């Protein structure tokens, strides 16, 4: 796992240390969780996005492909390709 050095105000650093001790966790795990809760996380992979969309759509794979091709062609026509 990559390492990162950050500067915190003394009070914030002390509060983080105390919280980590109380929760029996590392300061890094608390920071990681805080960042994720603020929406800072890697983008979903294209495969994950497609899987989520497919699950939500309720379309059969063949129907989804037909729709995808149709929408791709429509988009390309609008773009003049």
Q: What is the pLDDT of residue 20?
A: 97
Confidence of residue 26 (pLDDT cuts 50, 70, 90): very high
Q: What is the pLDDT of residue 19?
A: 97
Cβ–Cβ under 8 Å, residues 47 and 37? no
Q: Any idea which architecture 1-41 has in CATH?
A: Orthogonal Bundle (1.10)
66-81 mean pLDDT: 88
- Crossing angle of helices 27-37 and 10-23, in 10° steps, is 100
12-41 mean pLDDT: 94
Whether the pTM exceeds 0.85: the reply is no
Higher per-residue confidence, 65 vs 7: 7
Residue ranges matching CATH 1.10.1220 in the chain: 1-41
């Amino acid at each position: 796992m990559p390492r990162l050095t950050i500067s915190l105000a003394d009070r914030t650093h002390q509060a983080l240390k105390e919280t980590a001790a109380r929760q029996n966790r590392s300061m890094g795990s608390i920071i990681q969780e805080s960042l994720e809760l603020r929406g800072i996380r890697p983008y979903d992979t294209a495969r994950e996005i497609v899987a989520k969309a497919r699950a939500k759509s309720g379309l059969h794979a063949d129907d989804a492909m037909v729709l995808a091709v149709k929408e791709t062609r429509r988009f390309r026509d609008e773009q003049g390709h």
